[in-house]
Chains A and B, each alone.
Chain A
Amino acid sequence: MTDTSLFQQITDYANRADPYPLYTELRKSPVHRDETGVYVVGGYHDILSLLHDPRISSDARNRAEQPGGSALPGEEDEGDGVLPPTFLRLDPPEHDRLRAITNRPFGPPHSPRRIDGMRGELRTIVTDLIDHLDGGDGTLDVVEQFSYPFPVTVICRLLGIPRADESRFHSWADTLVSTLDPRPDVDTAERVRIAQQARLELGMYLNALLDERRKKPGDDMLSHLVAGNAPEGRMSGMEVLATAALLLIAGHETTVNLITNGMLTLLRHPEILERLREDPRLAVPLVEELLRFEPPVQMLPNRSPIADIELHGVTVPKGSPLCLVVASGNRDPARFEDPDRFDPDRRDVQHLGLGSGVHSCFGAPLARLEAQLALAELARRLEAPRLLEDPPPYRQNAVLRGPRHLRIAVDGVRP
């Protein structure tokens, strides 16, 4: 049956560069039961309903053991048993408590200007990176030279990682990210060992830093998390550590792909790149359309129902793994007119690119601003950019999808 192999095709690296025809296939039935036991949903309206369904859990403890014990793509990085689950993998009320405490120093209502207040600083980081882009031979790798270092620097500033330590931070992040991106030529056991080592070092580093912040708080997010004066209560030491690690990883991992996917899409649509160059305000609707068209998080694989639920006549049994393919929902013709067209002038662009419901992307305001600034500035300063490889090589990960490299040629970098 094609049904059973469809999900494997989706996760198969061979289809990474263009999974969209498979999503079209996926949407032909509302629920696919994969032979590994995963239930896969790809329709916009169904995904949206499930994201607001209080019978759908994000907590791994609500998932029945799968016979083959197969982890869903994107899960490999989870559950090393050292740190408690982050709010990403918790249900209310624990989720609400941790997320609310984390949100206090981050966004409205308590810190409404935090993100916008970083605009100037973000712009400086972008400018700096672009100033150093000149590859000499007129080629550059957007991922390594720009869309990766940018968000890591930003998250360091937000958390309050001292400048001097940023480079150590970059290298830990690098290692952890590369383990999310398994390559066939690297030994698995070795990869796991390296990842654990990096995680341990990062944990020890954060722990020491948190101790410092307990004694001498600043205005950064880490200080606020350890201060523990939120009415929602205080996080345990382990919870703070887990949250800090979550912010670090989730805080840049997705933005890298958003910016890279954005640049790739623009290079494939030169007329829109040109419009953006002339009018940086286009960045705002453009990033929204980008989140629909090429979302950095393609699917939400970590859900499972706490009761048998029925979806168009199919019963998804309690405890079964449920995967919501938001990137497929975003291209659902039942919701979006001409969905495969990239159109920043689209009026009604309520996409699923940042999720919806209680788990909707925590970092959304920051991610949007980073992508807007980055793309507008790249468009303005790169002279005659063109792709050297299309499609570019992709990272292994089917969930957090994006190019591993984006090599382009430019005639120069405008001042």
Chain B
Amino acid sequence: MIGDGSIDRLRREGRIVIVGASLAGLRAAETLREKGFTGSLTVIGDEPHPPYDRPPLSKQVLLGKAAPEHTTLPRRLDVDAHWRLGHAATGLDMAARRVRLADGDEVEYDRLLIATGVRARPWPVEAEAGLDGVFVLRTRDDATRLHRRLTEETRRVLVIGAGFTGSEIASACRERDLPVTVAERGSSPLVGALGGVIGEVARQMHLDAGVDLRCGVMVTALEGDTAGRVRSAVLSDGGTIDTDVVVVSLGATRNTEWLAGSGLGAGPRGIACDAGCRAFDVRGIVTDDVFVAGDVARAPHPLFGYQFLSLEHWGNAVAQAEIAAHNMISHATDRIPHLWVPAFWSSQFGVNIKSVGVPALGEEILVTQGSLADRRFTAVYGHQGRVIGAVTFDHGRWLPFYQELIERTAPFPPPFPTLDRRADGRGPVPAEFPDPSVPTHGPTVTVSGYSPADRRITFTPGRA
């Protein structure tokens, strides 16, 4: 069989190129070697640093508990790769199987993995974004700069956007006793990811920590002094904030521009791929030699109605990288799907937050254990009569159970009692997402099995 022989040759002496030298890129490289790939491996990254970890940047690093340069990711093994760090990939020729680099060089591949992730969305007004004292936080260099500025004299920090990263930054500032204002367009922090019920808990956390929290407002302008240093911010409610450090935390933009015109299905929402991490071309046809993993990927998940999900989650980057690496060097029949249930963690204001599933798809929420008032609880999200997500505040040990409910498409509200069910958990209430998306698929698929190799999906057409 032709196909089989060529895979064997690929594993032995093929050329694999990975673009994006961060979490997904490194884990994929390691997995390739672990799975016996002995050919040539090139890893291209535009940052000058060897792969490092981002979650500590908004936590330990801002607190001064870890130096930015001490966030380098631990290596599972020596991957024996040709590292081309500090070199951006600028183009892709799919027909000739070549990646173009900024310095004009070209690298040929038999298999390509794209793991270029996302970058921080900058402040939209360029002149204002360029003011001294205006920061974003995505890279190690960003963290170094911001941390240095926070250790200098700072009157007040303004964080724009109270998602996970913005809230973590505000938390770190308060822990360092810096005055901080948070401006959030939504009705409460974290409302987009977790809804208004949990957002209210987050709001109290900000207030208790002494954050000057302004919700339901937008920053409309940043103003600087003659020396080009930021001095104040104007709010949509007419107020102004005197500030000398502004951290823009308005989410991320996918790093796909370099693929423009390549014929790959890459756009502002990421690179679409199948459940086996194979990229789609612009015609919607799946490729056989281009794979995608991590924050830049957008993959359909059978558990969530085959919707294409883009996840900016650490665990997702690792899981996808391992699956992409496996599939790149496997026969068609040995490929495995990425059926990982989304999971995320954050730590802020001394609370450990974890979620599984896709809470944002939930219409209703039920506190099943603990209590919102204590900020120690588990809450589940319901979507069309099934459990679709769960979140815990300092209650992470229970999460595996709820993940199983999501995998089994268990009914919502769960029909059984649970330990530590309190008054707030008597019945489900609206989850209060600002803009509920209501997909129409019913529960048609369940996931079972434990190791990636025996993960199975069961298709259940038309539930009675």
Contacts and interface: CB of A to CB of B under 8 A. Distances in A.
A53 B450 CA distance: 17
Contacts of A93: 370, 374, 420
Contacts of B369: 54, 92
Contacts of B376: 96
B418 A54 contact: yes
Contacts of B374: 93
Shortest Cβ-Cβ A-B pairs, 8 listed: A54-B418, A92-B420, A307-B416, A52-B400, A52-B401, A91-B419, A54-B419, A357-B397
Nearest to A307: B416
A66 interface: no
> Which of B397, B417, B418, B419 has the most chain A CB atoms closer than 10 A to its own CB?
B419
B242 interface: no
B404 interface: yes
Contacts of A357: 397-398
Given A55-B417, A358-B398, 20 more contacts: A48-B400, A49-B401, A52-B398, A52-B399, A52-B400, A52-B401, A53-B401, A54-B368, A55-B416, A56-B419, A92-B370, A92-B420, A93-B374, A93-B420, A96-B376, A96-B420, A307-B416, A356-B397, A357-B397, A357-B398
Interface residues of B, number: 18
Residue among B378, B404, B417 with most chain A CB within 10 A: B417
Contacts of A358: 397-398
Given A92-B370, A92-B419, A52 B450 contact: no
A307 B421 CA distance: 13
B420 A54 contact: yes
22 contacts: A48-B400, A49-B401, A52-B397, A52-B398, A53-B401, A54-B398, A54-B401, A54-B418, A55-B417, A55-B418, A92-B370, A92-B419, A93-B370, A93-B374, A93-B420, A96-B420, A306-B419, A307-B416, A307-B417, A356-B397, A357-B397, A357-B398
A335 B399 CA distance: 20
Contacts of B399: 52
Contacts of B417: 55, 306-307
Interface of A: 45, 48-49, 52-57, 91-93, 96, 306-307, 309, 335, 356-358, 360
Contacts of A91: 419-420
A45 B404 CA distance: 12
Interface string B137-152: 0000000000000000
Nearest to A91: B419
Q: Name A's interface SS.
A: loop
A93 B420 CA distance: 6
Contacts of B370: 92-93
Interface of B: 368-370, 374, 376, 378, 397-401, 404, 416-420, 450
B146 to A, nearest CB: 25
A55 B378 CA distance: 14
A119 B363 CA distance: 52
Contacts of A57: 419
A360 B418 CA distance: 19
Nearest to B399: A52
Contacts of A96: 376, 420
Contacts of B397: 52, 356-358, 360
Contacts of A49: 400-401, 404
A153 to B, nearest CB: 32
Contacts of A55: 416-419
Nearest to B401: A52
Contacts of A309: 416
A52 B374 CA distance: 21
Contacts of A45: 450
B7 to A, nearest CB: 25
Nearest to B378: A54
Most interface-central of B369, B398, B416 (chain A CB within 10 A): B416
A295 B171 CA distance: 41
A311 to B, nearest CB: 12
A309 B419 CA distance: 14
Contacts of A360: 397
Nearest to A309: B416
A405 B370 CA distance: 45
A91 B421 CA distance: 11
Contacts of A48: 400
Nearest to B416: A307
Nearest to A48: B400
A261 B400 CA distance: 31
Contacts of A306: 417-419
A48 B368 CA distance: 20
A197 B400 CA distance: 44
A91 B400 CA distance: 18
A54 B397 CA distance: 10
Nearest to B374: A93
A127 B420 CA distance: 46
A305 to B, nearest CB: 9
B399 to A, nearest CB: 8
Contacts of A56: 419
Nearest to A357: B397
A307 B397 CA distance: 20
Nearest to A335: B450
Nearest to B421: A54
A280 to B, nearest CB: 23
A52 B390 CA distance: 14
Nearest to B350: A109
A291 to B, nearest CB: 19
Contacts of A54: 368-369, 378, 398, 401, 418-420
B414 to A, nearest CB: 9
B380 to A, nearest CB: 11
A29 B369 CA distance: 31
Contacts of B450: 45, 335
A55 B404 CA distance: 14
A107 B404 CA distance: 30
A55 B398 CA distance: 11
Contacts of A356: 397
A160 B401 CA distance: 39
Nearest to B418: A54
Contacts of B418: 54-55, 306
A57 B370 CA distance: 15
A49 B403 CA distance: 10
A315 to B, nearest CB: 12
